[in-house]
Amino acid sequence: MEETIQQKKRLYSAVQPTNALTIGNYIGAIRNMVAMQDEYDCFFAVANMHAITVRQVPAQLRQKTLALVALYLACGLDPEKCTIYVQSHVPCHAELAWVLNTFTYVGEMERMTQFKDKSAKHADNINMGLMDYPVLMAADILLYKSDVVPVGIDQRQHLEITRDIAIRFNNIYSPTFVVPEGVYPKVGAKIGDLLDPSKKMSKSAENPAGTIFMDDDKDVIMRKFRRAVTDSDSEVRYDPENKPGVSNLLSIYTAFTGKSIEEAERQFAGVGYGDFKTAVGEAVAAKLIPVQAEQARLLAEKDYLNGILKAGAERAYKVASATLSKVYRKIGFYQL
Ligand code: TYM
């Protein structure tokens, strides 16, 4: 078994356990993680160390960590096939991040779009962690010699800096890190807010009416979709530039039904926007309601979840500590 696992390419991704997740997280990342788990040797983390770059309520962070593990499983990640663990359970992440800090320039971090956005949003708490966030993310990815990283488009800049850091280190020493590739969904790499599709659908949007949370009930889902912006036209057609609202709804619909955009356009030819939005809401609810029930069932099985996390942390530590030790050797840290 070990041999077949090693032959597979390595895949890494992580999600922050902050607020409730949105269908943007599901479409942009989790759906792909589930789809790719058979083909790759997968490591999936709950990024609680990234989460504290914004102030968290401790009891909630603990609860959301376990809730995210249950959600991963409820969405279809199989702990027999992939390694699921909590980032803070593997100390190598913080250790490698420290080393990589010395290969990353302040100017590079200051230019990061997410840093600039979050600094504006949390002007009273522009802490070093917020700025250093991409370096920790680079450490996550590079520790596991990851070949591919399925994420939404908002993470592309972080993936690129990860590649730059890896190449920089490899050039100074000798090939040490695998230079990873980001994998972005063809449709749905940036799901927009339902009320303002030019903005990313976000866990922390000011107005939650534009965001579908993974734990919204059916009435709420249907109401939010009914109020989603479309346009003054009446044609259900995929054209992100001229019809951002309708195109966003089509992306969501195809992600939840597995249909292609063309199939969906044919299906809704001549159908009014009201009925179209109802159909999108129905498709989303049909998927989310059973996922919510399964997540609740799993959350009641804390020992089972803890068992998965313990095994996950052990497997992750084995891989991560081997990489860290190699890095320490190359940079000249005296090791016993
Ligand atoms: P996070 O928790 O903000 O989001 C988790 C994943 O969801 C994707 N995503 C979206 N995709 C499409 N449309 C949207 N509206 C949308 N909103 C979010 C994100 O791109 C992401 O893939 N820094 C990461 C977590 C992380 C990580 C890593 C990811 C930490 N270490 C290593 C990959 C590899 C983050 O904050 O994701």
* Same-domain check for residues 113 and 179: yes
The domain total for the chain is 2
| Domain harbouring 97, CATH code | 3.40.50.620
Residue nearest to atom 36 of ligand 1 (CA): 16
313, part of any domain:
yes
* Same-domain check for residues 252 and 135: no
* Same-domain check for residues 168 and 122: yes
47, part of any domain:
yes
Residue 166, CB half-sphere, CA atoms under 13 Å: how many?
Answer: 27
202, part of any domain:
no
Contacts of range 295-298, beta carbons closer than 8 Å, 24 or more positions apart: 295/67, 295/70, 295/71, 295/73, 295/74, 295/215, 296/70, 298/70, 298/73, 298/74
Per-residue tens of pLDDT for the chain, all 336 residues: 444 545 899 999 999 999 889 999 999 999 999 999 999 999 999 999 999 999 999 999 999 999 999 999 999 999 999 999 999 999 999 999 999 999 999 999 999 999 999 999 999 999 999 999 999 999 999 999 999 999 999 999 999 999 999 999 999 999 999 999 999 998 899 999 999 999 999 988 889 999 999 999 999 999 999 999 999 999 999 999 999 999 999 999 999 999 999 999 999 999 999 999 999 999 999 999 999 999 999 999 999 999 999 999 999 999 999 999 999 999 999 999
> Catalytic residues, which ones?
118, 200, 203
> Which of 130, 94, 138 lies closest to 114, judged by CA?
130
Q: Which domain holds residue 248?
A: 208-295
* Same-domain check for residues 176 and 221: no
Q: CB under 6 Å to ligand 1: residues?
A: 12-16, 24-25, 27-29, 47, 50, 137, 140-141, 149, 151-152, 154-155, 189-191, 200-201
118, part of any domain:
yes
* Same-domain check for residues 233 and 133: no
282, part of any domain:
yes
| Domain harbouring 271, CATH code | 1.10.240.10
Question: Taking the chain, what is the end-to-end CA distance rounded to the nearest angstrom?
Answer: 32
The pTM score is 0.95
* Same-domain check for residues 222 and 312: no
